[in-house]
Structure 1
Amino acid sequence: MRQLKQILLKWYRNISFRRKVYMVCILAGLIPVLVLGIFCYLQIDNLLVNREKQAEQDTVKQAAIVFQSKLNAYRNTVSNVAWNDGIGQAVTRNYTNNYEMYLAYRDEVDPLLAAISMLNGDISSETLYTSCNLYPHGSTVKTLKDARREPWYQTALHAKKPSFYISRANKDMIIYCPIFSSSIKSENYIAFNLNYKGIFSQFNTLFDNNFGVLLLDRQGTILYSYQNFSSQIPEEQISAFAKDKKLPKNYISMENVLTEEGWTLFLYRPMNTIWNNIAPILLMVLLVVLGCAFLLNLLTRTLSHVIVRPLETLTHNMKLIGSKGLFVDLPLDEPCNDEIGVLAKQFRIMVRKLQRLVNEIYKTKIEKQKYEIKALQAQINPHFFYNSLSLINSKALVSGQEDISEMAQLLSAYYRTTLNRGTSEISIEDEWKNTVSYIKIQMMMHSRSFQFVENLDPSVLNYKIPNLILQPLAENAIAHGIDQRTAPGPGLLKISCKAINDQIEFIVEDNGCGIPPDKLKNILTAKSNGYGIKNIQRRIQLYFGRSYGLTFASTENKGTIVTLRIPQREILTDISDSERVSL
């Protein structure tokens, strides 16, 4: 997975910017359209499913009500027969001759049962089961012995009201009830054979197609099952559903309980019925998405071309300069003031500046060669100077002129560290020697009219600083401080150097004339002749940053204290260009 991710990232990095813009725009446009399409589809699907469930619920509820009313009608009909006085007397009377039986048939049994059969077309036959000595009469009157052979007999023994017996296998439906008599207690029954298919035919027309109906009794026995599918559900699945009350997931099932009987009526339909209704909507959504994708593709191609064309022109110009050189004629850019247009304009300006710089460098190349010759000559002069000072020193020693010898040695030490072989950095040890040599030369030039005190921390000797930082401070202290003092007594110059945490602190202190407050306020920014304080401050901050540099404390006619703080560095590097620009 990680390797695949790396391959995709590598592929994305290497494709052109126009394709990247195209892909981003396509994704940014298609994702909302797809999300909206999927959302609409899900909402429509949910709406249709809920509508289908509600339709099935209403249908099965209405069918249950109609069926229950039909069962109640048969129950009332049987009850009327069971509680009919004439029927009760006919099945409990003790007959003495056939004529009495004939009168019972003619006057009581046949008229009533014939009327019931005529008024209820789903009643195929009516049968009285009697325990009296009334002879059997076709299918209308039978003996109690015949009743005992009926499958509903055991249930009828304990029945207090009309009950139903249904056999799905034999397509039988019978409603039976004991015959109640107030005069004589005897075992008699009335049973109606109902038309199984006619009774349940109302369930076969709930929908035009693609539906199924299942009627279960309290024990989960299937009383009736009907399917109207192009592919019938196997009987095993129907039986499993009757047992678990659970159809496969691709069906929607609704149920309603017939409260009087305790039976449960199930109506189920396949999900593809809903999907068939969704298909046109889904096709429409798909066509809309495809149409939006097509329009988005056209707009994205045009947009990516408009956006990327200036960048492609700029890239072409860069490659042209890279292959043919800086002095190539670039094609004109299209006028544009956006960010890309500004970038192209600035690129042209940069190219023109580079061309001018190259021309200037080319023109100064000859002059540079002249300067190099002069630099070679200048490298010879210091050696001649040092050799001359060495000769003066040796002659002074031979003649016993110690002051001249000391002066020659101090000058030699001073100029060796001042020139520093052309480098801009120096160790604190060498800078200190240079400054001390300079001060001692000044003491000799001043006939030792001022005193000098030095204090150097040995732990800082190897740290690096810019050269000629400390010596100008000592020079200013002598020239502008001690030489200008009017107070009695000798002058005093103190220099010290010590380490404080991760910093190095130099202090140059004199008891000269001091600095006036108005001049002290601008001393770090004021211009001066020669190498002034401003240049020292600027060099320090160029190397170490704005948090380091010089601070002054001065009192008129008492003296001045100059403090220089720098970080401890063994190697010097300039600060960044951004910091340097802000200085």
Structure 2
Amino acid sequence: MRPMIRFFLNIRFKSKLLLSYLIVVLIPIMTWVMYSFHQTNGFIAEQTKTNFQNIVLTTYSNLGQKMSKIENSFELITQDTTMIQIINGQYASNYDKYYDIVHKFDPMINALQMMNPEIKKINIFTNGDIKNARGIFMDLASLRDKFTYLSVVDTIEPVWIFEDGKLHVVKQVLSLENVRESAIVSLEIDPALIFKNNVALQFQNYGMLIADGNGTIVYQEDHLVRTATGGSLKEVLADLQSNSNIILFKQNTYPKGWDFYMYMDTQSHAISINSAFKSTIFIVLVSVVLIFIVSMLFSRTFVRRITKLNRLLSGVVADGFETNIKSDFKDEIGEITNSIGAVVKQTRQLIDEVHSSHTQQRDSELKALQSQINPHFLYNTLSTINWQAIQSGNSDISKLAISLSSFYRSTLNKGNMVTTVQYELENIRAYLDIQLSISRHSFNVIYEIEDHILEYNMPNIILQPVVENAVEHGLVSTMNSGDGLIIIRAYESGNDILFEVIDNGGGISEETIRDVLIHGKKGFGLKNVDNRLKLYFDQEYGLSFHSMEPHGTKATIRIPKYVEI
């Protein structure tokens, strides 16, 4: 007995709960299953038939919409006066004829095929001058004795024809001068595209069949385990009707005289009676005797060990987390006990680590304070240089000191990673003022800024690497002549803000663009800008280049409009 108890204590806690649940609920579940089986079996069978009938109607409706859509597309050809003139008309010159084909007919046909991917091929049979001008224009005389011509010649409506294994829909393009000489347009349709996947069926064993007025199977899609494909329509229907598990629905569809069939094997949805009645009764009787005894045993087993664990946890805090909690059992309660013990031990270690971390935190705060001294020292020094320059009447040095101070102040941005468009542009102005002073104004700068975007936010130090690249690399060829130009633009574009940095240097090659933005071989700062923007926002944002060789380069930065709250 003791080995059995220990085995039970060592099995997984989940297994204990599952075993207890099965024993407690087995009796009512078995009784309910036996009672409801016959009721649900009939209900499911009837519901399956009703659901499938609804799907048949939906599929039939979707199929009709697809066919009507193709027929309506004929109006692009048969109701358009320009197309009628091109197909049935006479031309004074070949130039006029080919001009109409290329500039009027081809765009209309391309639009027709784009809107209707089911159309595989278009043929036009005509007596007009356009016949034989291209592969799709054929002589009407070649069609006169064929079934297609005889089917459509006495009607102005589209006619669906399945002939030689191909599906066509044909219609006349009426000639105002001679109705009997009217052209005929034939669209070859891909049956798989127009008839397949009209409805997402939740059934697996189903099939669909479409037959024309002559009893010829135009399309069949069959998913039955015991296939019913092959042979004539009469043979296929006889095969389906001979199976009592198959339900078959038929709809008289358009075109007139065509038939639409859908069928399903109901055997996979039926519930068969497999339970052994005597075994069920025996299990129920035994369960009634054992359920009380087993439930008491389980309850005592669970509660005793949990109570012990609770008693140990109650003394953990009072003992300063020095209590040793451990279990030799391998089930979930044993694992929880050992996990709690590990947590208590780690908590003791964390208490010790927190004490030492306070000292490290004070050291970090001191270093952070020291790191703020250098920028303030730099600002104070530049301010002194500016004041002394003013006192000595040297405005150039004063302006340079102010620009340098403004540049570093906006670059550091008090340690913030986000700035405003206004401050970013002020940073660029200060940077370019410094560059102009260094290069003795060897280039010019033009700013084209929309004022209403200045209050939006953006990441810090985005424009400066791009402008620096334009100055140091883009204007190399213009530095000596003094006619270099940089244009800084910032404007709104929908929900985005665009920055453009344009120079009139020698341009940039596609290879250099790849090296900069993809391989990172050149201009690491530029690749860093592009990566930052894509990580911060999304892949559609970032930096791009456009060469205007030999007249310069345009760098474009795209960011979304946003304001941080």
TM-score normalized with structure 1 length: 0.42
TM-score normalized with structure 2 length: 0.44
